[in-house]
């Protein structure tokens, strides 16, 4: 395992920048906000650790990119910024997300509320769910894994037509696997940053996806007819688990981060780190490192403590729902929260720094 330990000065420059106006801007953060962000500069910080590389198949080893510091993000003329008339993130579900319609609605609502806290200041809205047939997309059976896949580009074309006028972006999510073109095996997602849209699949976040017993495999020799979408009726979807929810929240916020113009993080452990495989995405934390946090804060203008409080509140509501049984009086499903426990404690520690407690 290789640890990418950047020198303190390099991280300091990536966070604060050398441009005078940006340094002055940094000084305008409250004392405790600066204390929290500068915490990431210390090599032995208990809050922000260095990136580790575990194999040649990890993202950084296989995709050399120029690291994006705060200054290069801030001065990028091509990145898109929400404006007052276009400040809503729309989420469009495609196909089913669970065995019952109620569960689909509930699951996507959790994701939507999580994004609302993560991107504090923007509005996140759900569009009415659509079935796979509504999108008129092409589909196929993957010849290796024998599961159903839908054409990501066709979904993007569909989303383009659906994008409301006040959208900062529109994001399609599905539990069905995606492929970008016939010669490719699969893709986790595809986006058009200039058009402010993306589509992402959570199918491969199923713990059993790569096992021979995966229930989404179709019988060998099964033939499909393009345009006949009945094969999607009752098609397998991953069980809603705490791990699936955590993975979905991380993917969604990572991908929307790209639409803001935030590139893959190479500074510290961060939800914006690139990922090539499931083990690597599981390794990245759900939160932003201080450098990416400053990028987002500069766009949305939130108080850092308010955003952490909103995320904590989302978690605490989930924990409260766990106290009820699956058929709670409100009719809501229990939100599975176990996988978020480390993150909840992390947010509390960050908040204690922001509230001036000695850390
Ligand atoms: Zn990415
Ligand atoms: Zn980062």
Closest-approaching ligand to the CA atom of 69: 2
- Ligand of minimum distance to the alpha carbon of 280: 1
CA 91 – ligand 2 centroid, Å: 24
Q: Would you say how long the chain is, in residues?
A: 359
Q: 129 CA to middle of ligand 2, Å? A: 32
Q: List all residues 6 or more positions away from 291 whose beta carbon is below 8 Å from its beta carbon.
A: 11, 14, 15, 40, 69, 70, 265, 267, 268, 270
Task: Output the pLDDT for position 259.
Answer: 95
Q: Which string of DSSP letters, residue by residue, matches 28-43? A: TS-HHHHHHHHHTTST
Burial of 297 (0-12, 13-18, 19+ CB in 10 A): buried
CA of 344 to the centre of ligand 1 (A): 24
Ligand number with the minimum distance to the CA of 51: 2
Q: How far is the CA of 264 from the centre of ligand 1 (A)?
A: 6
Measure the CA–CA gap between 19 and 356, rounded to whole angstroms.
28
The set of catalytic residues is: 255
**CA proximity to 94, closest of 49, 126, 57, 47:** 126
Q: What is the pLDDT along the chain (359 residues), one digit of tens a residue?
A: 898 899 999 999 999 999 999 999 999 999 999 999 999 999 899 999 999 888 888 887 778 789 999 999 999 999 999 999 999 999 999 998 876 777 778 889 999 999 999 999 999 999 999 999 999 999 999 988 899 999 999 999 999 999 999 999 999 999 999 999 999 999 988 989 989 999 999 999 988 898 888 899 988 778 888 889 999 988 998 888 899 999 999 999 999 999 999 999 999 999 999 988 888 889 999 999 999 999 999 999 999 999 999 999 999 988 887 766 554 555 567 888 899 999 999 999 999 999 987 65
pLDDT the model gives residue 285: 96
pLDDT, residue 358, reads 64
Between the CA atoms of 325, 329, 331 and 332, what dihedral angle is there, to the nearest 10 degrees? -60
CA of 171 to the centre of ligand 2 (A): 22
Domains defined along the chain, listed by start: 2-78+266-354 (no CATH), 88-250 (3.40.390)
């Amino acid at each position: 395992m290789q640890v990418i330990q950047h020198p303190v000065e390099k991280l300091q420059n990536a966070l604060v920048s050398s441009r005078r106006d940006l340094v002055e801007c940094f000084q305008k953060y409250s004392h405790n906000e600066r204390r929290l962000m500068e915490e990431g500069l210390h090599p032995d910080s208990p809050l922000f650790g260095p990136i580790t590389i575990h194999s040649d198949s990890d993202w950084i080893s296989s995709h050399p990119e120029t690291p994006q510091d705060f200054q290069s993000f801030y001065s990028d003329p091509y990145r898109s910024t929400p404006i007052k008339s276009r400040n809503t993130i729309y989420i469009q579900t495609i196909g089913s997300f669970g065995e019952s319609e109620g569960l689909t609605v509930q699951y996507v609502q959790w994701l939507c509320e999580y994004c609302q806290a993560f991107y504090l200041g923007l509005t996140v809205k759900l569009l009415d769910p659509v079935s796979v047939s509504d999108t008129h997309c092409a589909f196929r059976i993957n010849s290796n894994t024998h599961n159903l896949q839908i054409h990501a580009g066709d979904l993007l074309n569909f989303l383009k037509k659906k994008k409301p006028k006040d959208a900062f972006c529109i994001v399609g999510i599905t539990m069905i696997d995606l492929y970008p073109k016939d010669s490719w095996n699969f893709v986790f997602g595809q986006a058009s940053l200039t058009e402010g849209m993306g589509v992402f699949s959570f199918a491969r976040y199923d713990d059993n996806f790569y096992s021979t017993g995966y229930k989404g495999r179709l019988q060998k020799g099964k033939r499909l007819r393009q345009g006949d979408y009945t094969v999607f009726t009752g098609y397998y979807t991953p069980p809603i688990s705490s791990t699936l929810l955590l993975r979905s929240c991380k993917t969604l916020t990572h991908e929307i981060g790209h639409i803001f113009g935030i590139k893959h993080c190479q500074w510290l452990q961060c939800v914006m780190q690139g990922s090539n495989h499931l083990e690597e995405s599981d390794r990245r934390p759900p939160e932003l490192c201080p450098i990416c946090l400053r990028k987002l804060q500069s766009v949305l203008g939130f108080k850092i403590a308010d955003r952490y409080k909103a995320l904590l509140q989302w978690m605490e509501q989930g924990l409260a729902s766990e106290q009820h049984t699956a058929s709670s009086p409100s009719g809501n499903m229990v939100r599975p929260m176990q996988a978020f426990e480390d993150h909840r404690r992390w947010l509390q520690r960050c908040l204690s720094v922001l509230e001036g407690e000695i850390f």
